[in-house]
Amino acid sequence: MVYDLEEPINIKIAAGQTCQNEGRDVKGGCSQCAGEEDFNLKRHLAFIISAVILFGLGMILRDTLHETPYGLAEYAVFLSAYLLSGWKVLFTALRNLSRGKVFDENSLMSIATIGAIAIHQMPEAVGVMLFFKVGELFQDLSVNRSRRSVRAVLDIRPDYANLKTDHELKRVKPEEVRVDDMIVVKPGEKIPLDGEVLEGNTLVDTSALTGESVPRSIGVGNQILAGMINKTGSLTVRVTKKFSESSVSRILELVENASSRKAPTENFITTFAKYYTPVVVFGALAVAMIPPLVVEGATFSDWIYRALVLLVISCPCALMISIPLGYFGGIGGAARKGILVKGANYLDALTKVKTVVFDKTGTLTKGNFKVTRVVPANGFREDELLRMAASAETQSNHPIARSILEAYGQEVNPSRVQACQEIPGCGLQAEVDGRTVLVGNDRLLHQYGVEHEVCCVEGTAAHLVVDNRYAGYIVIADEIKDDAREAIQSLKKLGVEKTVMLSGDTKAVTESVAGKLGIDVFLAELLPEDKVKAIEQMERESSDGGKIVFVGDGINDAPVIARADVGVAMGALGSDAAIETADVVIMTDAPSKLAQAIGIARKTRGIVWQNIIMALGVKGIFIALGIIGIATIWEAVLADVGVALLAILNATRAMR
């Protein structure tokens, strides 16, 4: 119960961290560090049991001690129990007072219990602190259970790597392996580092990274990522990234730091508590002082007691711990599904989404372009057209370039290609065998004033111009992702008002994809800067406070992802650009995960507001009962501890 709202509930990824006491790496942390990080259960129980024994002894012998010359023994017994159960609250209140934080939950409990002792209600004072201590124990157990749950979900950090040397396999820490070293991953082992498979075939379990249960087939030439689990065959892997730069390290760092970004609700509660606590203190002072002065027959002792009840029930512990714990659980629950949310503020923003904007290629379509037709013109042959296009595209990494090279199927002599230059948003220009070759879209033809008859083609067309003469076009087709239509339907069921698709592709292709998916609005033939302008225009037209989400592949859409209210990187497993730029990272290629992320966000927000309404409602009732003299301190402390525990148990539902 003694928590500081200014400090987020951070998750500490204990596995593999350096032990504070001995400087060694340990899986799961050592017991000594675990005690320092969380709390010492045996120590808590020792204080509680000792206080209960003294409290019980004091209650049994209270009348005897009170009516004898040994009355001081009554104070000794009860005050000992009081200090055993409440020393932490008193110490924290004094420490915060020295820092200028006069009003907080520790101050409320300290003032209430010291006041009870002053009017000789010592059993009540001890009872408040004792129940408070028991409640704190249960709260610590709940918080640590949530932390352990998230740790278990994210326990994807590999423990070792089998480093391949000239003569043997040597087991080393992943941090000791360098780029271009060779490692061997045996069946059943975690992939320790990102790399390229040189030998072997296997199935890998990616569920820890992506939330997907279906194993993925991996073979020679494929990229493999740290945190995956090798299921069947042995692999030899060339390491491509240091461990500190690997996917698993980036994911752990992202989730660990997510709780530092607070949601508006958390910031509201922080501000609310700053004003709420002093109001409660001065309100209790008014309850204690004013009625005895203005109401006939009222006594100070009676109204001071009522004021103490008010202080006890007004403690805002339930709000202070359950709200950040709820968001913490929501972020952890999303991570289990392969959805990484960089902060509670982004989780909250997802609940207000009205417009979802998708990039087309690589987001709603697979981005697996294949050449379906080669259409020559003006005397050029098909094989000549394909050879010229492949030669010009040999230095490009664009998916269309790769598909043309794959269709050509032969090695391109680099000496034949010179002066290759990209034309942003249009294509490229190169010198092939001394001839000037242009490869690109219809916009490129208009830019260079090349006469041509074909403009609109079903599919993506790469037009060729050789020495300023139109040579024909190559049609490249892209497939729509299997769950893309389901994603659009799910978003509309969730109440998303408008779905938009942005593409640099032709209008004919973009319109065809939009029609098949049921997308409301599409914009075609856009340059990267045009996509940013489109998002800005949508924001200007949005007047109801609804959030705009942009979903892209996280590599070439970084400017748009950064500009949207919530930027989502799709299929970003292993993409540094995506993890750096996006607010939400979906680790698979499934666009339907976005609807799942919005659902998790709404459920989390619902749980948070349930806790707020429940806590304030119960406290309001008991404040009224305390002022009119019906509720006692015993009932107040039971209500306070009870509502705090219920709120925390409710908050842990977000994890599931």
In angstroms, rounded to a whole number, what is the distance separating the alpha carbons of residues 244 and 465? Answer: 47
The more confidently predicted of residues 545 and 629 is: 629
Q: Cα–Cα–Cα angle for 297, 299, 305, nearest 5°?
A: 140
Which residues are identified as catalytic? 359
| Two tokens, residue 609 | 């507001």
The more confidently predicted of residues 345 and 579 is: 345
**Phi, psi at residue 232, to the nearest 5°?**
-120, -65
pLDDT value of position 260: 61
Position 356, amino acid: V
Which helix or strand (DSSP H or E) is residue 567 part of? Answer: strand 566-570
Position 336, amino acid: R
> Any idea what DSSP says for residue 365?
B
Strand partners, 613: none
In angstroms, rounded to a whole number, what is the distance separating the alpha carbons of residues 392 and 35? Answer: 63
Which helix or strand (DSSP H or E) is residue 340 part of? Answer: strand 339-341
Q: pLDDT tens for residues 550-587?
A: 998 765 677 888 888 898 988 665 566 666 778 888 88
| CATH number at 339-365+481-587 | 3.40.50.1000
Residues of the chain with CATH 2.70.150.10: 178-241
SS3 track for 513-533: HHHHHCCCEEECCCCHHHHHH
Strand partners, 417: 432
Q: pLDDT tens for residues 45-58?
A: 888 888 888 888 88
Fold classified for 370-477 = Calcium-transporting ATPase, cytoplasmic domain N (3.40.1110)
**Nearest in space to 655 (alpha carbons), one of 253, 144, 264, 270:** 144
**Nearest in space to 207 (alpha carbons), one of 587, 590, 589, 572:** 587
Q: Write the DSSP assignment of 175-192 as a string of letters.
A: GGPPTT-EEEE-TTPBP-
> Any idea what DSSP says for residue 224?
E
**Nearest in space to 534 (alpha carbons), one of 508, 499, 560:** 560
Segment among 7-11, 162-166, 615-619 with least mean pLDDT: 7-11
**Nearest in space to 150 (alpha carbons), one of 351, 24, 4, 327:** 327
Q: What mean pLDDT comes out for the span 437-459?
A: 79
Q: In this structure, are residues 234 and 200 in contact, taking their beta carbons and an 8 Å threshold?
A: yes
For the beta sheet containing 229-230, the strands, ordered from the edge strand earlier in sequence to the opposite edge, are 216-218, 202-205, 229-230
**Phi, psi at residue 562, to the nearest 5°?**
-70, -30
| Two tokens, residue 358 | 């998708």
Residues of the chain with CATH 3.40.1110.10: 370-477
pLDDT confidence tier of residue 11, bands split at 50, 70 and 90 = very low
User: In sequence order, which residues have a C-beta less than 8 Å from that of residue 466 and are 6 or more positions away?
Assistant: 380, 388, 435, 436, 437, 438
Which residue is associated with the tokens 């002082």?
Answer: 289
The more confidently predicted of residues 70 and 91 is: 91
Per-state percent for the chain, helix, strand, coil, to nearest 5? 50, 15, 30
As a whole number, the mean pLDDT across the chain is 79
In angstroms, rounded to a whole number, what is the distance separating the alpha carbons of residues 498 and 488? Answer: 10
Q: Is the pTM of this model over 0.95?
A: no
Q: Cα–Cα–Cα angle for 536, 523, 588, nearest 5°?
A: 85
pLDDT value of position 229: 87
Which helix or strand (DSSP H or E) is residue 475 part of? Answer: strand 469-477
Q: In this structure, are residues 243 and 175 in contact, taking their beta carbons and an 8 Å threshold?
A: yes
| Two tokens, residue 367 | 């981005």
Strand partners, 204: 216, 230
pLDDT confidence tier of residue 182, bands split at 50, 70 and 90 = very high
Q: In this structure, are residues 459 and 476 in contact, taking their beta carbons and an 8 Å threshold?
A: yes
Fold classified for 178-241 = 2.70.150
Residue 184 confidence (pLDDT) above 90: yes
Q: In this structure, are residues 264 and 345 in contact, taking their beta carbons and an 8 Å threshold?
A: yes
Q: pLDDT tens for residues 129-150?
A: 887 787 777 767 766 665 665 5
Residue 65 confidence (pLDDT) above 80: no
Residues of the chain with CATH 3.40.50.1000: 339-365+481-587
In angstroms, rounded to a whole number, what is the distance separating the alpha carbons of residues 220 and 194? Answer: 14
pLDDT value of position 249: 72
Which residue is associated with the tokens 């992802």?
Answer: 561
Segment among 12-16, 246-250, 345-349, 476-480 with least mean pLDDT: 12-16
For the beta sheet containing 547-552, the strands, ordered from the edge strand earlier in sequence to the opposite edge, are 339-341, 584-586, 566-570, 547-552, 353-359, 498-502, 521-523
The more confidently predicted of residues 547 and 414 is: 547
pLDDT value of position 575: 60
